[in-house]
Amino acid sequence: MFYNPYIVFFSCNHPSSTFFPLSRLFYRYRDLAPQLVPLDYTGQPDVRLPYELIGSMPELKDNPFRQRIAEVFSEDGEGNMTLDDFLDMFSVLSEMAPRDLKAYYAFKIYDFNNDDFLCKSDLEKTLNKLTRNELTEEEVRMVCDKVIDEADLDNDGRLSLEDFQHMIVRAPDFLSTFHIRI
């Protein structure tokens, strides 16, 4: 399928695991640190690019959620990504990933404390990152309360994944906004 011999390895192992052509992504990954990433991946080398390199990519550099994105998709949870993690990330953020998959990862990204719920502190942090701390504390609190009122269906005071997905269904723009072009 791909004529690049270095990618043949990938096509053997991940032929249909991503929604995206792999060779371009591999070269983008390699361009971040050419001295660390070998051209030949047949030996499955354990190469992990530190978060600083991932966060300096032009697509992510100014995104307020870049740290969370890197943490969610990285194996070690710190933002240091292997090639697999990198491919995963751009695969989910591509145009063709299904809505449910995107909603799942979006939920993970907004869940700052990794407790699998969007509690009030997660909401506050999300809001502050979105608005660059322009809202006052009072306004932040009001917005968070209102969000939980609106979206919390099982009435436990925080948003579970089901609540989040239910809300995503009602927001048809989600598919076009949760998308990074590479």
Q: Which CB sits closer to other proteins, 35 or 116? A: 116
Pick between residue 35 and residue 62 the one whose CB is nearest to other proteins.
62
C-alpha angle 98/99/104, rounded to 5°? Answer: 105
CB of 42 to other proteins, least distance (A): 15
Q: Are 178 and 106 in contact (CB under 8 A)?
A: yes
Q: Pick the closer one to other proteins by CB: 38 or 77.
A: 77
Beta carbons within 10 angstroms of residue 72's beta carbon? 22
Q: Shortest gap between Cβ of 5 and other proteins (angstroms)?
A: 16
81 φ/ψ angles, rounded to the nearest 5 degrees? -110, 135
User: Smallest distance, Å, CB 100 to other proteins?
Assistant: 6
Q: What is the CA radius of gyration of the chain?
A: 18
Which residue number, 19 or 35, has a Cβ lying nearer to other proteins? Answer: 19
Residues 6+ apart with CB under 8 A from 179: 93, 94, 95
Nearest distance in Å: CB 54, other proteins: 14
